């Protein structure tokens, strides 16, 4: 996308958030839609940053919709996700938009579906959707994307059985991030016992890039 295209897309998204009627691109969407969700502290934003880098290295253009908690003062998005993605700010093949959840349940924002449709029809090869990160209720994303990656970190293993009926079960891929920390093997074992063959489990270290290429392969595969 050109810088002009990105500015136009940003204006259209702002209009959608304001509840205004929007006539977006008419092209059929061919974008691969991928949801990234999971509890706070698992490293979702760092992982998304790593995914962007790997996708760009493969020549793929990337749109990112990052749903952030709302500021209690302004009601706007707390832009933690965008800060972690600063390395891609000058890349014309990357567009990052943060949205405030504004209290909407499900881990997204009320207009996220419409914004995602707009981004997916705007010429990107891949659109990543990162949820706000509040816990078990974040299952709305599964209805909007082709694949869902649930990101966990070591130390979460004791909760697997209790959470089994919630967020973990929406995963196509469960990502154990921060794979250099103690407890990775125990968490992976708990996941495989709880989920059986219903989801793939992959280990990454988003800060170093380890496991990112394999994760992109799995997210882009058509099954």
Structural domains in the chain, CATH included, are 3-19+29-220 (3.40.50.300)
Instruction: Give the pLDDT of residue 140.
Output: 73
Considering only CA atoms, which of 64, 147, 51 is closest in space to residue 98? 64
Residues 116, 168: Cα–Cα separation, whole Å: 23
Instruction: Give the pLDDT of residue 104.
Output: 45
Write down the residue that tokens 């089994």 correspond to: 164
SS3 per residue for 85-103: CHHHCCCCCEEEEEEECCC
Q: What 8-state DSSP symbol labels residue 192?
A: H
Instruction: Give the pLDDT of residue 70.
Output: 46
Instruction: Give the pLDDT of residue 165.
Output: 44
Phi, psi angle pair for 39, to nearest 5° = -70, 160
Instruction: Give the pLDDT of residue 64.
Output: 93
pLDDT tens-place values along the chain, 223 residues long: 555 588 889 999 998 888 887 776 656 778 999 999 888 888 998 999 999 999 999 999 999 998 875 443 344 444 455 566 667 878 989 999 888 764 444 444 668 888 898 999 999 999 999 987 655 445 677 788 999 999 998 876 555 554 554 667 778 999 999 999 998 988 888 888 777 766 689 999 999 999 999 999 999 998 6
Phi, psi angle pair for 83, to nearest 5° = -60, -40
Instruction: Give the pLDDT of residue 213.
Output: 98
Instruction: Give the pLDDT of residue 124.
Output: 94
Instruction: Give the pLDDT of residue 203.
Output: 96
Instruction: Give the pLDDT of residue 196.
Output: 75
Instruction: Give the pLDDT of residue 103.
Output: 46
Taken as a whole, the chain contains a residue count of 223
Count of other CB atoms within 10 angstroms of residue 74: 9
């Amino acid at each position: 996308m050109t810088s002009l295209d990105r500015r136009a897309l940003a204006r259209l998204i702002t209009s959608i958030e304001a509840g205004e009627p929007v006539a977006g691109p008419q092209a059929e969407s061919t974008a691969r839609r991928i949801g990234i969700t999971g509890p706070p502290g698992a490293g979702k934003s760092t992982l998304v940053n790593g995914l962007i880098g790997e996708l760009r290295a493969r020549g793929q253009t990337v749109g990112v919709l990052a749903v952030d908690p709302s500021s209690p003062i302004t009601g706007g998005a707390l832009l933690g996700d965008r800060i972690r993605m600063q390395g891609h700010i000058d890349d014309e093949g990357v567009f990052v938009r943060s949205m405030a959840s504004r209290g909407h349940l499900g881990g997204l924002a009320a207009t996220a579906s419409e914004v995602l449709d707009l981004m997916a029809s705007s010429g990107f090869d891949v659109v990543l959707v990162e949820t706000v990160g509040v816990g078990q209720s974040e299952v709305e994303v599964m209805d909007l994307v082709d694949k869902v990656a649930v990101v966990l970190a070591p130390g979460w293993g004791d909760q697997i059985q209790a959470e089994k009926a919630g967020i973990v079960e929406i995963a196509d891929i469960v990502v154990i991030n921060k794979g250099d920390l103690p407890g990775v093997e125990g968490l992976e074992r708990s996941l495989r016992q709880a989920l059986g063959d219903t989801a793939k489990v992959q280990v990454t270290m988003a800060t170093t890039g380890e496991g990112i290429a394999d994760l992109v392969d799995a997210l882009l595969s058509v099954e």
